[in-house]
Every structure is written in C-alpha cells, then in structure tokens.
Amino acid sequence: MALSTLSGDEQRIIFVQLCNVLYPGVAVAFSSASSELRELTLELRQQLKADHKAAAALGRKAGMRCSMELCEAKRVRWCRTGLSSDDLALLGTLGSMLPALEALSLREPAAGPDGVQRLAEKLGAGALPAMTTLGLYGTHVGDAGASALAAALGRGALPRLKRLSLTSAAIGDAALVALAPALRRRSALEVLDLDYNPLGDEGIAALVAPPEPAGAPPPPTGGLAMLQTLHVSHTQIADAGCAALTAAFDSGALRALEYVWLCGVPASAAALHAVKARFCIDGGDTEPYEDSNSDASD
C-alpha cells in the first residue's frame, strides 16, 4: 500500500511503532519518505532525539561507547555513577529493547527512594527476556519499590530470572510480604540474596510459607522449588523466623535449598542450631553476580 494512501494518523502510528531510542535510524528514515510525514512527526522526532541522547548517556555511564553497544550487551553494571531516579525510569523503558541482557547490577544509592519503583513500573510484559541475574546493592527498594517489582514480575517481566540480589535495599517485613508471592511464583529462582535488610520473622515466613495442608491440590507455581541459596545475614530474623525455615524444609517446600546464610541475626543459638541441622549455613562463596557483602554500609 502506497504511503500516500494512509491518513496522517496512520502514518504517525507507523512512525511510533518504528521508534527505538537505542536505534532511531529506522524511524528517522521512515519520516523522510515525504515532506508531509516529516512535518507530522516533527515533535515525535524531537522527542526521539532527546530520548536517544539520554539513553546514550546512560550507556556511557556503564562504559558503553554507543547506544547499540548497550542494546547488544549481555552484562551491564552501574556502580556509583550517580544514576538518578529519572535514569532508572529510562532504564525501565528500555527493558523491551535489551533482548540480549542476561545480568544487570546496580549499586546506585544516588537514585533515591523511588528510583527502583520507577524502574519497575516501566517494565512491561516480557521486558528483559534474557535476564537471569538482577542485583541491586545499596540501592533503595523499600516498600513501594518491592510492590512495583512484584507487579512487574507478575505481568511477565524478567521471565527467566534465576538469581535476585536485593542487598542493603531497605527491605523490611512489609516489603518482603509484598514481594514474596511474586517470588514464589518464579519456580526457576535459584539464588535469593536479602543480606543487610531490616526484614524479620514476618517477612521470612511469608517467603518460605509451607504448602497447603495435606489433601489440598499442589500450587501450580512451584513455590521456590528450585531455590538453592538464601542469603538473610544481618537481618532481624529471630527464633520464629528460624522456625518458619525449618518447618518449610520439613514439609518439603524447600527441597532444593542447600545454603542458608544467617549470620548477624538476633535468633537464639538453639534456633540457629535447628536451622544448621537442616541446611549448610557456612557454605562457600555462592554470590550470584558480585560480592553483595562488600560496601554493605551503603
């Protein structure tokens, strides 16, 4: 069909569909097909140019020379580069444009209290399709960020996630209670790192809740069936939280869990001994992406 037979609205729709802030050339070339189309898309091209510039700057902070390098990257790490809340929101919008990205690490305290929330809110269904490892270190998540991340996982973002680190991320009981159902639906999750967070017994119980009573149909979602390593050191887990861990193990709910890192918690020696009787709590280095305990004071 000739372009001239399409209405202005239809041409604009095609232009918008072609827009990719990491690779804007296709949309720009399309807009050059006619003087009418160039005029119709003037404001959209200006916005695309600004967004491309911002995306390129974001990539440079991770050591990328150009936006296409970011598009093709398998592992990306931002560490104290001064990313703002706006930067994380932009990163979220890029989620559908990063098909190769397998591992993302953020150590960005400057992003503020709503940075992760804004990132997660921008992650649509199927965003970051290849990502298996997500690490947030010293980057505030909090209650709102945890709820937004749970919603993103619920709508199908990060479908291949296996390793999640939320270290020193202001994850308290309310945040973990909000996040737990989404994590329990990720049956492929193998490593969960929650070190240096104020979460306690209520949060850990929500995460490792045992299966339904005998006779009830098994949950279709797996319920942490593949979880192998759990980091909850330097949290507020006490005896009730340890009891929840041991009860979940005894019920068969955590059949793959081998390592539980549980140092620096207020639990009694007897409660810790019960956990140690079921799991290895002083195993070797099993960090998913980088040393989550380094710079834990962030």
Asked if residue 201 and residue 124 are part of one domain, the reply reads: yes
Q: Per-residue pLDDT averaged across 208-231, rounded? A: 71
Confidence label for 214 from pLDDT (cuts 50, 70 and 90): low
* 241-260 confidence digits (pLDDT tens): 999 999 999 988 898 999 99
79-110 per-position pLDDT tens digit: 999 999 999 999 999 999 999 999 999 999 99
Range of the domain at 13: 7-67
Q: What is the CATH number of the domain that holds 203?
A: 3.80.10.10
- Are residues 178 and 250 both part of a single domain? yes
pLDDT attached to residue 210:
56
Number of domains in the chain: 2
- For the ranges 46-55, 135-144, 172-181, the lowest mean pLDDT is seen at 46-55
pLDDT band at 44 (very low <50, low <70, confident <90, very high): confident
Confidence of residue 282 (pLDDT cuts 50, 70, 90): low
User: Residue 174: which of 197, 199, 140, 205 has the closest Cα?
Assistant: 199
Question: pLDDT tens across 66-76, in order?
Answer: 888 998 999 99
